[in-house]
């Protein structure tokens, strides 16, 4: 009798599954699609971490920052809430809605807070700088909580978006957080196979800061130098997983330093020096300066990442494409995933499907 292996028992070491779906017109769609897509790659994980990020999911509170916080101890909740109330006006708070899933263990206490920075805590000199000043204020507060208050971690902090993650298979995490009940215009999901870092709820993907979310397949061997470089700009890694640096690097390069996504990709997945030497004078000079200025931001190691914020979804490979990444398009829908099958299972009749080259970003932008 022929024996078939169940997806849950067949594993791909260092596989990890990543998938992103975007409606470029901003039309909302259910979380069902992202669940089906990531669960088509169950064999890429080992049950030690999964997660989702959704954009457009909080329309009634779209103008407020939403902190998703996990508490490992009930005794620390008052400490965190007192700190938050000193710095923010709490518009609304509640436990993150969830459903009992028997297979999930060691579940932290999960709350979400919709917040507005207190005016007296944020010094704004002109209306033009209001958003940047408030964003910096939020980043500083997230870093303080995660670094200084034991057993409390802010794992999502953007507007009109949220990250939901934990230790379990993607179908279990989706059921626990009721992902199918949300609607968004961008969804990303991750199925984890950790190889050199701990498996815990805070260490699952996506990682985020402000409205950035990052999911990653691979290993960042440059984590040490990336982390020390980020500390110069007051970003601190506290979640014991190498992917955390990618979220902070995107915030630094794109939001703070105002670089384009294309330039940021040339920094994080920089061409080899031999490739730069073959460019014409202007490109050679420009890429050389990028490498000199942003050398510590270069990501070494095999990686395929999907990065999103409220306006953009981007896929990026390492400069030798050591991890798989496929992109597809159908009308206003953009799909990026580890496997073509994860796209075809939710959109069979595609207008276009392709494999992005090493270091070449796939960028989907909101049309309005």
Can you name the residues that pair with 304 across neighbouring β-strands? Answer: 217, 317
Distance CA 342, CA 21 (A): 11
Single out the catalytic residue among 16, 39, 66, 237. 16
Alpha helices in 183-241 (DSSP H): 223-231
| Both tokens assigned to 182 | 């949300």
Q: Is the peptide bond before 204 cis (omega within 30 degrees of 0)?
A: no
Biggest CA–CA distance in the chain, Å, is 75
Active-site residue, 345 included = no
Which of 53, 39, 47, 21 is closest to 247 using CA atoms?
53
Output the DSSP codes for 119-143: GGG---SSGGGHHHHHHHHHHHHHH
Q: Are 345 and 90 in contact (CB under 8 A)?
A: no
Alpha helices in 160-243 (DSSP H): 170-177, 223-231
| Active site (catalytic) residues | 16
């Amino acid at each position: 009798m022929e024996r078939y292996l169940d997806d849950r028992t067949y594993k791909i070491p260092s596989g990890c599954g990543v998938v992103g779906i975007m409606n470029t017109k901003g039309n909302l769609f259910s979380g069902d699609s992202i669940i089906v897509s990531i669960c088509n790659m169950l064999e890429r994980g080992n049950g030690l971490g999964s997660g989702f990020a959704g954009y457009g999911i909080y329309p009634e509170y779209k103008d407020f920052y939403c902190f998703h916080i996990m508490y490992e101890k009930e005794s620390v909740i008052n400490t965190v809430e007192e700190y938050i109330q000193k710095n923010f006006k709490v518009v609304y708070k509640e436990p993150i809605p969830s459903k009992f899933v028997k297979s999930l263990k060691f579940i932290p206490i999960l709350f979400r807070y919709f917040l507005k920075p207190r005016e007296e805590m944020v010094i704004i000199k002109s209306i033009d700088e209001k958003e940047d000043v408030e964003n910096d204020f939020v980043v500083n507060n997230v870093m303080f909580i995660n670094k200084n208050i034991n057993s409390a971690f802010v794992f999502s902090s953007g507007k009109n978006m949220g990250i939901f993650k934990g230790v379990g298979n993607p179908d279990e995490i989706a059921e626990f957080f009721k992902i199918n009940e949300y609607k968004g215009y961008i969804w990303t999901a991750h199925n984890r196979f950790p190889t050199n870092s701990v498996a815990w709820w805070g260490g699952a993907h996506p990682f985020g800061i402000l409205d950035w979310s990052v999911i990653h397949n691979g290993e960042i061997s440059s984590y040490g130098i990336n982390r020390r470089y980020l500390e110069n700009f007051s970003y601190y890694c506290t979640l014991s997983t190498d992917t955390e640096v990618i979220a902070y690097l995107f915030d630094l390069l794109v939001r703070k330093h105002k670089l384009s996504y294309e330039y940021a990709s040339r920094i994080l997945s920089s061409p080899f020096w031999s490739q730069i030497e073959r460019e014409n004078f202007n490109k050679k000079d420009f890429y050389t300066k990028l490498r000199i200025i942003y050398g510590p931001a270069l990501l070494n190691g095999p990686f395929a990442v999907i990065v999103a914020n409220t306006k953009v979804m981007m896929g990026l490979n390492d400069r030798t494409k050591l991890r798989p990444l496929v992109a597809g398009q159908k009308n206003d829908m953009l799909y990026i995933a580890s496997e073509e099958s994860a796209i075809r299972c939710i959109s069979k009749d595609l207008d276009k499907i392709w494999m992005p080259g090493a270091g070449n970003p796939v960028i989907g932008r909101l049309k309005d």
